[in-house]
Amino acid sequence: MLVARSGDEIAAVAAAIREAGGGAVAQRLDVTDLEAVAAFFADAKPFDILVNNAGTNRPKAVTEVSEADYDAVLDLNLKSAFFVAQHCARAMIASETKGSIIHVGSQMGHVGGINRTLYCASKWGLEGLSKALALDLAPHGIRSNTIAPTFIETPMTAPFLADPAFRDDVLSRIKLGRLGRVEDLMGAVLFLASDASALVTGTSLVIDGGWTAD
């Protein structure tokens, strides 16, 4: 099941998956609407895998951050992530469904970043959330982990990476010498979703090309 605030893109992806012989449905949902989140999980069959992926960023100097900026970033990146995981876990526990919750964090949940106080706060918080969830949910056979990517070429990062100086600085920190692609995350998600990671919980798989190793 593909979930997003905008329906057209995920509907097209779901159709492509079906055409390729898989099974997929698209569901429009704003995860900042907690009543809608509760209703979504109440109506759906219990999931055994959740990829908790919604996120945003408002890069600004700490002196320029407004309360609205704070709420926008922390509400989506951390608050919504918590309640999506909570509702998913409740349904899994009630149905005795074992499985895996995978949060999409960031390398910025392991280091600091200039003009990224809000983003770092949210992603460091997500790391702590995942570890605590792993402890709470382990008795139910539910695992919780994060993946922590570096800069991935997506529509959200495109405006930042269009700045040559910023792009050069990013590339100088990624020791493998290139930006990430969405495909670089697929293996990590498949690993954490599968029985290959049956004893892995409460940890983070950092996919950063060596950024945080320095």
Whether 190 is in a domain gets the answer yes
Per the structure, the count of domains in the chain is 1
Q: Quote the domain boundaries for residue 85.
A: 31-151+184-209
What would the two tokens of residue 80 be? Answer: 């919504």
pLDDT in tens, 77-105: 999 999 999 999 999 999 999 999 999 99
Enzyme catalytic residues: 119
- At 16, which helix (H) or strand (E)? helix 7-19
pLDDT of residue 212: 96
How large a percentage of the chain has pLDDT more than 90?
Answer: 95
Whether 91 is in a domain gets the answer yes
Q: In angstroms, what CA-CA distances link 190 with 22, 44, 176? A: 16, 22, 22
Whether 76 is in a domain gets the answer yes
Whether 192 is in a domain gets the answer yes
CATH number at residue 203: 3.40.50.720
Whether 92 is in a domain gets the answer yes
Contact between 40 and 100 under an 8 Å Cβ cutoff? The reply is: no
**DSSP secondary structure letters along 74-111:** HIIIIIIHHHHHHHHHHHHHHTT--EEEEEE--GGGTS
Q: In angstroms, what CA-CA distances link 25 with 84, 92, 207? A: 18, 20, 28
Whether 167 is in a domain gets the answer no
Nearest alpha-carbon partner for 83 in 36, 149, 147: 36
pLDDT in tens, 21-52: 999 999 999 999 999 999 999 999 999 999 99
Whether 161 is in a domain gets the answer no
Whether 134 is in a domain gets the answer yes
pLDDT of residue 182: 95
